[in-house]
């Protein structure tokens, strides 16, 4: 029959070392486990446990209630561990000493390979357990050191069995998450799987940058929340991406050919269509190569794969945008060279187009009589069919500006829009939404700003198909300095609980997640286009006057 704690304490107080040795043998697992749970270092925990028993031997006479030996020992070890942690915080060399001591202790092994493996396992164990709060660490360490007995752990820690079970369950869950994060950060052995497909689809080229934002990013936003159910969306996107590009290109080609004013202009439009087709085919082929060979990269060097896809996506958009700008300049030059700037009336040009587009070929000009600080409250300026061939077109300038080029203090809507809230193909403002948005809060096919969301997003925070951010990013490709969630994430905390907790706490990501839904994009487009539709309805068509329109 085991001797009671009360008897052992009485004998030890009289100098009986054998009695105290029995106390040490009875509680060494408990004391070492608590020390380890508090310090997160095996070597340090054993030192603290030894110090605990030495301190107990020297202080046995101060123990007023010998029956409370176990809680008394637990209090001593916790105090010593806390003191050691505080000293290590003040002395950064203490951690280095612990590492050296571990290496010296492990170097006694005859097998160098076994020594190295044991050291790596110990370091991994230390780092992983150190991430858990002491409340969960102590029951977890004791559980496995006490033959996985819940009752024994409950007895040693003076807890109820239910409380121990709850702490063990929560501790295991946190441990699994942390081990997964360690593996992702350190070993990079995770398989790309469906998330890889999602990431690749996020960068598929579509001829319209706005369409890119409305399809790719929606797929990405859904995938981040439920990647296991997003694979079919990825395959569908892979098929529809190039198809949408070709369809958009063909529509643009048809409309341009109908409004062309000379054989030279039509010849150039054919060449332009060929260039755009080659750009789409080359981009799609390059993406296919990444799909075929990128899985190995994602396992060994996700940063390389993320960089390759990012460069491809950004390069595609840059080349497409450059091609469009060059085409506009070239067509204007052709019309001047062939003297066809005004060879057709607005009505003749409109007659060649579908009924839904005819009204857009008329000029419209309006400045409201109400002014503030010298600017009209509302300014509308559309140049219609006369836009090509004019070197400089008079923009709409006011508090609310709508036109081909619009500069509005509060709101601007147009092909080029600059204002507080800017909506257009190229938009610049505090809130910028369009094909390319640049602003504090930027939304679009290409979004650049402090908070960026769209097809390709670059900013402090980014939620996009290809998301590049300084602080945090969500996307098919998510690259950030600190936090990233997505198909292919690259960050200090990538697809980890830490990253998830930070991003879930951010109002921007919650708001952007709602906007990335189909209804969110639809609502944003309606809000942005509504003022333009109202202006087209209320401002009557006018005969275009090149002298009046040009500035």
Residue 475 pairs in a beta bridge with 486
- The rounded distance, in Å, linking the Cα atoms of 149 and 135 is 18
Helix, strand, or coil here: 429?
Answer: strand
246-255, 441-450, 517-526: range with lowest mean pLDDT? 246-255
pLDDT in tens, 447-495: 888 888 877 788 889 888 778 888 888 887 788 888 888 877 778 887 8
Per the CB < 8 A criterion, the answer to whether 439 and 429 are in contact is: yes
Domain that holds residue 77: 5-187
Q: With 0-12 CB in 10 A as exposed, 13-18 as middle and 19+ as buried, what is 506?
A: middle
Per the CB < 8 A criterion, the answer to whether 517 and 221 are in contact is: yes
- Dihedral, 382, 385, 388, 394 alpha carbons, nearest 10: -20
The DSSP code for 362 is S
Looking at the structure, do residues 155 and 79 belong to the same domain, yes or no? yes
Domain count, the chain: 3
Within a domain: 311: yes
Looking at the structure, do residues 128 and 243 belong to the same domain, yes or no? no
What does the pLDDT read at residue 361?
Answer: 55
Which residues contact residue 350 at a Cβ distance below 8 angstroms, ignoring those fewer than 6 apart? Answer: 358, 359, 361, 362, 385
Looking at the structure, do residues 176 and 197 belong to the same domain, yes or no? no
79-93, 152-166, 225-239, 360-374: range with lowest mean pLDDT? 225-239
- The rounded distance, in Å, linking the Cα atoms of 37 and 17 is 28
Within a domain: 358: no
First to last CA, the chain: 106
Within a domain: 348: no
Last residue of a domain, which of 134, 165, 187?
A: 187
What does the pLDDT read at residue 548?
Answer: 41
Per the rule left: phi > 0, alpha: psi between -120 and 50, beta: everything else, 495 is left
User: What is the rounded radius of gyration, in angstroms, for the C-alpha atoms of the chain?
Assistant: 35
Looking at the structure, do residues 331 and 300 belong to the same domain, yes or no? yes
Looking at the structure, do residues 226 and 296 belong to the same domain, yes or no? yes
Mean pLDDT of the region 31-55: 82
Looking at the structure, do residues 145 and 253 belong to the same domain, yes or no? no
Token digits of residue 124:
């991994």
pLDDT in tens, 59-68: 888 888 888 8
What does the pLDDT read at residue 405?
Answer: 83
What does the pLDDT read at residue 55?
Answer: 86
Pairing of strands 396-479, 378-382: parallel
- Dihedral, 428, 432, 437, 441 alpha carbons, nearest 10: 110
Per the CB < 8 A criterion, the answer to whether 49 and 77 are in contact is: yes
Within a domain: 290: yes
What does the pLDDT read at residue 299?
Answer: 55
pLDDT above 50 (res 224): no
- The rounded distance, in Å, linking the Cα atoms of 44 and 52 is 12
Looking at the structure, do residues 130 and 78 belong to the same domain, yes or no? yes
Within a domain: 360: no
Last residue of a domain, which of 145, 168, 187?
A: 187
Within a domain: 354: no
Alpha helices by DSSP H, 40-158: 42-59, 69-90, 93-106, 112-130, 134-145, 150-157
Per the CB < 8 A criterion, the answer to whether 513 and 463 are in contact is: yes
- The rounded distance, in Å, linking the Cα atoms of 18 and 30 is 19
**Percent of the residues in the chain that have a pLDDT greater than 90, as a whole number:** 0
- The rounded distance, in Å, linking the Cα atoms of 319 and 276 is 10
Looking at the structure, do residues 121 and 267 belong to the same domain, yes or no? no
Which residues contact residue 124 at a Cβ distance below 8 angstroms, ignoring those fewer than 6 apart? Answer: 182
Q: With 0-12 CB in 10 A as exposed, 13-18 as middle and 19+ as buried, what is 61?
A: exposed
Per the CB < 8 A criterion, the answer to whether 208 and 425 are in contact is: no
pLDDT above 80 (res 42): no
- Buried/exposed code over 325-336 (b: 16+ C-beta within 10 A; e: otherwise): eebeeebbebbe
Q: What's the helix, strand, coil split of the chain in %, to 5?
A: 65, 20, 15
Looking at the structure, do residues 201 and 243 belong to the same domain, yes or no? yes
pLDDT above 70 (res 410): yes
Per the CB < 8 A criterion, the answer to whether 274 and 461 are in contact is: no
Looking at the structure, do residues 165 and 16 belong to the same domain, yes or no? yes
Residue 379 pairs in a beta bridge with 367, 401
What does the pLDDT read at residue 296?
Answer: 60
pLDDT in tens, 333-377: 887 777 765 544 445 555 554 444 455 556 777 888 888 888 888
Total count of residues recorded for the chain: 551
CB count within 10 Å of CB 412 equals 33
Last residue of a domain, which of 125, 160, 187?
A: 187
Within a domain: 155: yes
What does the pLDDT read at residue 550?
Answer: 42
Within a domain: 51: yes
Looking at the structure, do residues 319 and 415 belong to the same domain, yes or no? no
Give residue 529's pLDDT band: very low, low, confident or very high (50, 70, 90): confident
Token digits of residue 193:
């799987």
CA quadruple 318, 323, 328, 330: dihedral positive or negative?
A: positive
Looking at the structure, do residues 33 and 170 belong to the same domain, yes or no? yes
Token digits of residue 245:
């590009």
- The CATH number that applies at residue 50 is 1.10.1740.10
pLDDT above 80 (res 409): yes
Query: Which has more pLDDT, 532 or 303?
Result: 532
């Amino acid at each position: 029959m085991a001797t009671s704690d009360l008897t052992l304490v009485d004998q030890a107080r009289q100098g009986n070392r054998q009695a105290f040795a029995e106390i040490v043998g009875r509680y060494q697992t408990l004391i070492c486990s608590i020390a380890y749970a508090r310090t997160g270092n095996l070597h340090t925990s054993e030192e603290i446990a030894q110090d605990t028993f030495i301190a107990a031997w020297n202080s046995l006479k101060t123990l007023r209630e010998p029956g409370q030996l176990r809680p008394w020992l637990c209090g001593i070890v916790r105090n010593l561990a806390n003191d050691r942690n505080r000293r290590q915080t003040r002395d950064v060399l203490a951690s280095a000493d612990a590492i050296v001591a571990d290496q010296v202790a492990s170097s006694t092994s005859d097998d160098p390979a076994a020594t190295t493996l044991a050291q790596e396992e110990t370091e991994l164990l230390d780092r992983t357990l150190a991430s858990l709060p002491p409340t969960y660490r102590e029951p977890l360490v004791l559980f496995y050191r006490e033959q996985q007995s819940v009752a024994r752990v409950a007895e040693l820690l003076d807890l109820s069995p239910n409380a121990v079970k709850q702490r063990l369950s929560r501790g295991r869950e946190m441990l699994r998450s942390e081990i997964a994060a360690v593996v992702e950060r350190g070993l990079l052995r995770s398989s790309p799987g469906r998330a890889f497909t999602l990431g690749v689809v996020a960068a598929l080229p579509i001829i319209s940058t706005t369409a890119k934002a409305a399809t790719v990013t929606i797929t990405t936003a859904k995938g981040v929340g439920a990647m296991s159910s997003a694979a079919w969306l990825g395959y569908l996107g892979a098929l529809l991406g190039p198809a949408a590009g070709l369809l958009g290109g063909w529509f643009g080609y048809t409309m341009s050919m109908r409004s062309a004013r000379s054989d030279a202009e039509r010849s150039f439009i054919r060449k332009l269509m060929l260039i755009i087709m080659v750009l789409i085919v080359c981009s799609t082929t390059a993406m296919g190569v990444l799909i075929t060979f990128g899985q190995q990269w994602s396992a060994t060097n996700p940063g390389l794969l993320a960089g390759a896809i990012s460069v491809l996506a950004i390069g595609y958009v840059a080349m497409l945008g450059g091609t469009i700008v060059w085409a506009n300049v070239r067509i204007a030059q052709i019309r001047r060279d062939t003297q066809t700037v005004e060879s057709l009336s607005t009505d003749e040009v409109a007659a060649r187009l579908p009924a839904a587009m005819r009204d857009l070929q008329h000029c419209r000009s309006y400045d409201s009589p109400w002014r503030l600080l010298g600017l009209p409250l509302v300014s509308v300026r559309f140049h219609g069919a006369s836009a090509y061939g004019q070197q400089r077109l008079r923009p709409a300038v006011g508090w609310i500006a709508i036109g081909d080029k619009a500069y509005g203090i509060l709101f601007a809507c147009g092909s080029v829009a600059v204002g507080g809230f800017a909506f257009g193909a190229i938009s610049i403002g505090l809130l910028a939404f369009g094909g390319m948005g640049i602003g504090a809060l930027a939304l679009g096919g290409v979004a650049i700003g402090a908070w960026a969301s769209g097809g390709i997003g670059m900013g402090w925070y980014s939620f996009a198909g290809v998301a590049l951010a300084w602080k945090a990013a969500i996307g098919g490709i998510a690259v950030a300095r600190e936090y990233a969630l997505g198909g292919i994430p690259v960050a200090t905390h990538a697809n980890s609980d830490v990253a998830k907790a930070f991003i879930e706490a951010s109002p921007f990501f919650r708001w952007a997640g709602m906007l990335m839904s189909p209804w969110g994009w639809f609502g944003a487009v309606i809000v942005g286009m509504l003022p333009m539709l109202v202006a087209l309805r209320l401002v009557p068509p006018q005969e275009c006057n090149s002298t009046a329109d040009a500035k």
